[in-house]
Structure 1
Amino acid sequence: MGTPLGDFVRAKRDSIQPQSLGLPDRGRRRSPGLRRLDLAARAGISVEYLTRIEQGRDRRPSVAVIHALADALSLDPSERDHLRYLAKITGGECSAHPQPSPPRRQVRSSVRETLRLLEPGIAMVTNRLGDVLAHTSAFASVTGAAGLLDGDAPNLTRYVFTDARARTFFADWDDIADEQAFDLWLAPSAENSAWLTARLAALAGPDFTRRRNRHVVPRRGVLRLDHPCAGALRLRRETLELSADAQQLIVFLPADDKTAQAVEQLRERPHGRLRTIS
Structure 2
Amino acid sequence: MDGELGAFLRSRREALRPEQVGLPTNGRRRTPGLRRAELATLAQVSVEYLTRLEQGRDTRPSPGILAALAEALRLDDADRRHLQQLASVDHRRQLCAGGRPTVSRTVRPQVRTLLEALRDRPAYLINRIGDVLAWNGPFDRLARPLGLLDDERPNLVWFVFADERAPEHFPDWADLADQQVADLHRLRGGDPAADAFAQRLDRTVGEPFQSRWQRRPVAVQPSGVRWLRHPEVGPLRLSYETLELADDQQRLVVQQPTDAESTAALDRLLGRRPGSLRSVAG
Q: TM-score, normalised by structure 2?
A: 0.83
Residue type matched to 1:20 in 2? Q
SS class of match (1:252):
strand
Contact preservation (8 Å) 2:182, 2:220: no
SS class of match (1:245):
coil
Contact preservation (8 Å) 1:178, 1:218: no
SS class of match (1:225):
strand
Flag the 1:58–1:203 CA change in 2: closer, same or farther, 3 A.
same
SS class of match (1:222):
strand
Q: CA deviation at 1:254?
A: 2.0
Where does structure 1 lack aligned partners over 5 or more consecutive residues? 270-278
The correspondence for 2:255, drawn from 252, 269, 272, is 252
Task: Tell me how large the CA RMSD over aligned residues is.
Answer: 2.7
2:140 aligns to what? 140
Contact preservation (8 Å) 2:6, 2:54: yes
Flag the 1:201–1:117 CA change in 2: closer, same or farther, 3 A.
same
The correspondence for 2:238, drawn from 235, 240, 250, is 235
SS class of match (1:197):
helix
Q: CA deviation at 1:90?
A: 5.2
Q: 2: CA distance between counterparts of 1:232 and 1:205?
A: 29
Flag the 1:141–1:188 CA change in 2: closer, same or farther, 3 A.
farther
Residue type matched to 1:233 in 2? L
Contact preservation (8 Å) 1:3, 1:90: no
Q: CA deviation at 1:62?
A: 1.7
SS class of match (2:38):
helix
Residue type matched to 1:215 in 2? R
Residue type matched to 2:229 in 1? D
Could you report, residue by residue, the CA deviation over 1:102-154 in whole angstroms, capped at 9, with x for unpaired residues?
73322111111111222111111111211111112111222211100112211
Where does structure 2 lack aligned partners over 5 or more consecutive residues? 273-282
Flag the 1:188–1:28 CA change in 2: closer, same or farther, 3 A.
closer
1:46-65 mapped onto 2 (5 Å cutoff): 46-65=46-65
Q: 2: CA distance between counterparts of 1:189 and 1:136?
A: 31
Could you report, residue by residue, the CA deviation over 1:22-66 in whole angstroms, capped at 9, with x for unpaired residues?
333343312112232332222221222112212222222122222
Q: Does 1:68 align with 2:68?
A: yes
Flag the 1:90–1:212 CA change in 2: closer, same or farther, 3 A.
farther
SS class of match (2:165):
helix
1:15-30 mapped onto 2 (5 Å cutoff): 15-30=15-30
1:1-278 mapped onto 2 (5 Å cutoff): 3-89=3-89, 93=93, 103-185=103-185, 186-187=187-188, 190-220=191-221, 221-268=224-271
Contact preservation (8 Å) 1:127, 1:188: no
Flag the 1:102–1:144 CA change in 2: closer, same or farther, 3 A.
farther
Flag the 1:65–1:102 CA change in 2: closer, same or farther, 3 A.
closer
Greater alpha carbon shift after TM alignment, 206-215 vs 165-174: 206-215
Contact preservation (8 Å) 2:183, 2:218: no
> Identity rate of aligned residues, in percent?
44
Greater alpha carbon shift after TM alignment, 148-157 vs 251-260: 251-260
Q: TM-score, normalised by structure 1?
A: 0.84
Q: 1: CA distance between counterparts of 2:264 and 2:249?
A: 34
